[in-house]
Structure 1
Amino acid sequence: MTQREKSFRIAIRKFGPFESAIEKQWASFQQKTGITLSLETEALDLHPLYHSYFEKEDLKQGNWDVGFLSSDWFATAHQTGAVLNIAPYLADNPPEDYPHGWTSSLLHMHQFDDVVLGLPYHDGPECLIYRKDLFEDPQEQEAYQQMYGTPLRVPQSWDEFHRVARFFHRPEQGLYGTVFAAYPDGHNTVYDFCLQLWTRGGELFDSSGQMMLNTPQAAAALEFYRRILNDPEAIHPQAREFDSVKSGFAFANGEVAMMINWFGFAAMAETIAESQVKGKVDIATIPFEENGRTVSLNAYWILCIAAGTPHPDIAYEFIRHCASAPMDKLLTLEGGIGCRKSTWADGDVNQTIPFYHKMESLHHYARELPRLPHWAKLAGFIDELVLAVINTDRPIPELLQTVQEKIRR
């Protein structure tokens, strides 16, 4: 037997809670099943993970057994045949309470007709995450009232968001008003743009299905993004170096008063040992403008089985084990976000993370990115546009016209 045949290899999206949870879930799986394969994991950031899956074709080649797969990549994985269809396994031996133990919003995106790409692992829609101790402090409330002539509250509009960020921006205390994950990885800037666009009543595509970015709503979204990202009196100075994970850790370290980020980073701030803000965190819906409405972005991760795995049956049993209620709860208490309804309502979880029960309500406002095989290319246009907006002073109408011409080509 080769070394590869003796090992079980998992590609993990680089994030401490994922890494520790998988180690514990594998140990639990071994104890339950007696499987003796040795676990080998590698934690990768988004670009290296995508490169491994779809450029090196490590899933098809069998260099992985199980992988973390983002909802951004579902269509690509399906089109390329990179992952195993688990529908036959689900028919024979589904996880307990499947599918009713999950919301439909965490099941339909990774299903293509009769093909199912995996099982939900980590969820957590985008939301407004804030320091409730700051917002509820009577001295802060009085100071804000005197400064602006209006009560301090969780921001309802983007202009109010900017104003509150400037109010709490105190670099001399190691506190910054807000942070955006502006690192150019083709994901975070795209997510931010979509939220800014949708909360102003805009859309990515016109009625014919053509991506249409040259719109008044897109221009307004980008004007705001440029203004706040370049405001040294509101933004964390390392925002351009931060992805969503680093932004989440900055918040947990007590460096940020509020941010728009994934629900999971609010939960993480209540669970990880090094958090400086335990008991001081809450969440709210995302601000919006007059012609828009509050929106959340639903993106999630599944555990998939590599098409070329030498251990397909064991791989299914493992991801099924991870989808069990105890393992979903374990992930959550490690700092990830379980996907089961039972976890969202769990008493222990809500005692540790008092706002966890709000998860289901966030899904009422959740939208999803388009499930297109060429989405990575379209997202690249958005990423390029947003980076030009925040890193140059070129007029935004000109930038929009330029990117629209590229899309048409």
Structure 2
Amino acid sequence: MPTLRLVGRPFEGFENALQRQMDSFAASVDADVTFERDHRPLPEIHEELLDTGDIADGRYDLFLCLSDWLPMAADAGYLEPLDDRMAADPPEDWPEGWAESLRGLMAYDGTTYGVPYHDGPEIFHYREDCFESVDEQRAFREAYGRPLSVPRTWDEFLEVASFFTRPDEDMWGTVVAAKPDGHNDVYDFAIHLWSRGGQLLDDEGTPAFDSPEGREALQYYHDLIHEHEVAPPESVEMESVETGQFYADGKAAMMWNWSGFGAMAEDPDSAAFGRTNYGLIPRADAAAGEHTSLTVCYGLTVPAGAEHPDLAYDFIRHAASPENDRITTQEGASGTRFSTWRDPEILRSNTFYSILEEVNTGPVNTLPRIPEYTELNEILNEMVEAVVVDRSMSVEDGLAEADERARALLE
């Protein structure tokens, strides 16, 4: 009896959805099949499987791959190209059933290596009841001389976050995932950089983040926690799932985070149930400032050296069906198909889906699609850690050192 072995990050939404999808696949195929799941933290997957190349040692048949890693893994030959299999037996509605932006994240150098399984993008979450309260509106106007409104700029965001920060009530203006795991800490820096008109790399692929926009972005991120104290101090130890739960527990008035964490806030047991709305991430109040978003996704891929590559691809097709993509959403992750985003029942229970198609089909930023990105990501991760978490370097020194290392890497 064949056993399909999958590796991916731990997340209840992934684990529950995959279990249901694996059970239905096992019941539907002619050959008996069993599954084993290995859920590891992102840094461990990167260090023990990607850095070493062990992801392709035959241990795994399926890899729930973060799109940040796909260019490096594909370029190194760690993933099976799927084009031939997809041409012969594509997933239902492929490719029209998915946004081009997501399909592109699962391809490298013109070759497809995976099918999207779980999608961002990052959006703005806010406690609508806080903004609609007459008492809060009156108090805010008295304090700031203007109406209380959902912030459109980072300056407005800071005022609103300061107003709602009430540690004695276990309430904070915002929460950020600054844990140095190479995930949201880097993404947060990128969002602040882009929203100020900056770039990670310029058009020639040269590092461009050590710039006035980069300094302002990193300083603002640092100051939210340490200077203005509008985010809880434990933000430096929190990763993305923990911040999503923190918000769902009613402890923050606002956050920018992955759209899928709206599912936590809209769970009937959540303290934020029925109280959350969504919008655009704030921008800098400057000519170059723009509302921006970041999209990454997780996709099901087949590692090179897999013992059962054909059977693994059959499972990927199965998991990508309309029914199973709905299951991904129902279990707390975020489905990737247009059919799920447009499903009336899904929209009733997950109102944030109403803006997913607009964000994913409009201008949306992605991280550099280069094989060296995983190493560049670690440089940025260590920069944010030194400046924001350890506070062992100044913003200027952190950016300068990261720029020097990035240039050496990319030259």
Structure 1's unaligned 5+ residue stretches are none
Structure 2: unaligned runs, 5 residues or longer:
none
1:134 to partner: Cα distance: 1.3
Partners of 1:158 and 1:327 lie apart in 2 by 39
What is the match of residue 276 of structure 1?
Answer: 271
* Most deviating of 96-105 and 24-33: 24-33
- State whether structure 2 residue 393 is matched by structure 1 residue 397: no
1:220 pairs with 216, 221, 231, which one? Answer: 216
**Conserved in 1, the CA contact under 8 Å of 2:26 and 2:34?**
no
The 4+ residue runs of structure 1 with deviation greater than 6 A are none
Q: Deviations over 1:334-366 (max 9, x none)?
A: 111110011111011011012311111222231
Is contact 2:387–2:398 with CA below 8 Å preserved after alignment?
yes
Counterpart in 1 of 2:236? 240
1:367 counterpart SS class: coil
- Asked if structure 2 preserves the Cα contact closer than 8 Å seen for 1:298 and 1:368, the reply is yes
Structure 1 pair 306/394, CA: closer, same or farther in 2 (3 Å)? closer
Q: Does 1:195 align with 2:194?
A: no
Matched position secondary structure for 2:278: strand
Deviations 1:113-149 (A, max 9, x none): 4521111100021111111121222221121112111
Q: Does 1:185 align with 2:184?
A: no
Deviation at 1:274, TM superposition (A): 4.5
The 2-side partners of 1:30 and 1:402 are apart by: 51
Q: Match for 1:164 among 146, 152, 160?
A: 160
1:347 matched to which residue of 2?
344
Q: 2:149 aligns with which of 139, 147, 153?
A: 153
Partner of 1:329, secondary structure, is helix
Amino acid at match of 1:404: D
Cα separation, 2, equivalents of 1:297 and 1:34: 41
- Determine what percentage of the aligned residue pairs are the same residue: 38
- What secondary structure, in the 3-state scheme, does the structure 2 residue paired with 1:106 have? helix
* Count of residue pairs the alignment pairs up: 404
State the shift of 1:172 in Å.
2.1
Q: 2 CA distance for matches of 1:50 and 1:209?
A: 23
Partners of 2:293 and 2:323 lie apart in 1 by 27
State the 1:295 CA deviation: 0.6
Q: What secondary structure does 2:230 align onto?
A: coil
Structure 1 residues 64-83: Cα deviation after superposition (integer angstroms, max 9, x where no partner): 11111011001111112111
Verify the 8 A CA contact 1:285 1:362 in the aligned structure 2. no
Cα gap change, 1:196 to 1:114, in 2 (>3 Å): closer
Report SS of the residue matched to 1:119.
strand
1-side partners of 2:352 and 2:405: how far apart?
Answer: 43
| CA 1:394–1:62: 2 relative to 1, 3 Å | closer
Q: Residue 293 of structure 1 aligns with which residue? A: 290
SS at match of 2:68: helix
Q: 1:211 to 1:114 in 2, by over 3 A?
A: closer
Find the aligned partners of 2:60 and 2:212 in 1 and give their Cα distance: 45
Question: TM (normalized to structure 1)?
Answer: 0.94
Q: What is the alpha-carbon distance in structure 1 between the residues aligned to residue 203 and residue 367 of structure 2? A: 16
Contact 2:325–2:337 at 8 Å: present in 1 too?
Answer: yes
Alpha-carbon distance in structure 2 between the residues aligned to 1:187 and 1:114:
26
The TM-score with structure 2 as length reference comes to: 0.94
User: Do residues 379 (structure 1) and 389 (structure 2) align?
Assistant: no
Q: How far is 1:395 from its partner?
A: 4.1
AA aligned opposite 1:366: V
Counterpart among 74, 80, 84 of residue 84 in structure 1: 80
Cα distance in 1, alignment partners of residues 395 and 237 from structure 2: 23
Give the residue type in structure 1 aligned to 2:317. Answer: R
Partner of 1:314: 311
Distance 1:173 1:152 in 2: 20
1:396 partner amino acid: V
Structure 2 residue 65 is matched with structure 1 residue 66: no
Deviates more, 1:351-360 or 1:32-41: 32-41
Displacement, 1:393?
A: 6.9
* Most deviating of 325-334 and 209-218: 209-218
Maintained 8 Å contact 1:156/1:287: yes
CA distance 1:197–1:113, shift in 2 (3 Å) = closer
Counterpart CA distance in 1 for 2:119 and 2:21 is: 17
